[in-house]
């Protein structure tokens, strides 16, 4: 993943121009042998303090993997690469939850989607997803109120 240092160093959207993780972790045909270690690297990067732009790219990539896992059937034991990716994400569950509660509404929405698709946190999954969705609604309302106040 030669583009990963550029993605991690990105401070602005312009810094990402020409760099993406798309196609490096997952192809149009699904996950590959390199996907599980790549997801582990993404989760390790999220455990650090990536910029908001880098965090967005990392979360979007993990969400794409989650969508692929769910589209494949989401059955553990039937897809070794998908199961290994899910295990890496599950190990970083608490960091994802922390990011979603301290980040912006888009981060919370991405983490809620990841949790839902990968069925993370077992029985508590529904509770965390509801908490994250409520956070998205609250942040979206605050953002709308600020915009209305600026326009007056």
Q: Where are the domains of the chain?
A: 4-151
Residue 1 has pLDDT above 50, yes or no: no
pLDDT per residue as tens digits for the range 26-80: 666 667 777 888 888 888 888 888 888 888 888 888 888 877 766 665 555 567 7
Which range, of 43-47, 58-62, 102-106, 146-150, averages the lowest pLDDT?
Answer: 146-150
Give pairs for 3-10: CB < 8 Å, separation 24+. Answer: 4/41, 4/45, 7/54, 7/57, 7/58, 8/45, 8/50, 8/54, 9/54, 10/51, 10/53, 10/54, 10/57
User: In the chain, pLDDT over 90 holds for what percent of residues?
Assistant: 0
């Amino acid at each position: 993943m030669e583009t990963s240092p550029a993605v991690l160093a990105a401070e602005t959207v312009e810094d990402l121009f020409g760099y993406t993780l798309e196609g490096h972790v997952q192809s149009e045909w699904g996950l590959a042998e390199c996907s599980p270690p790549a997801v582990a690297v993404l989760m390790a990067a999220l455990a650090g303090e990536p910029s908001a732009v880098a965090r967005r790219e990392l979360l979007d990539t993990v969400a794409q993997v989650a969508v692929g896992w769910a589209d494949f059937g989401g059955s553990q034991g039937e897809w070794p690469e998908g199961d290994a990716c899910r295990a890496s994400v599950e190990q970083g569950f608490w960091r994802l939850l922390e990011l979603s509660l301290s980040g912006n509404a888009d981060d919370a929405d991405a983490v809620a989607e990841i949790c839902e698709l990968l069925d993370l946190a077992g029985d508590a999954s529904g509770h965390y997803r509801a908490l994250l969705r409520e956070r998205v609604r609250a942040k979206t309302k605050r953002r709308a109120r600020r915009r209305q106040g600026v326009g007056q």
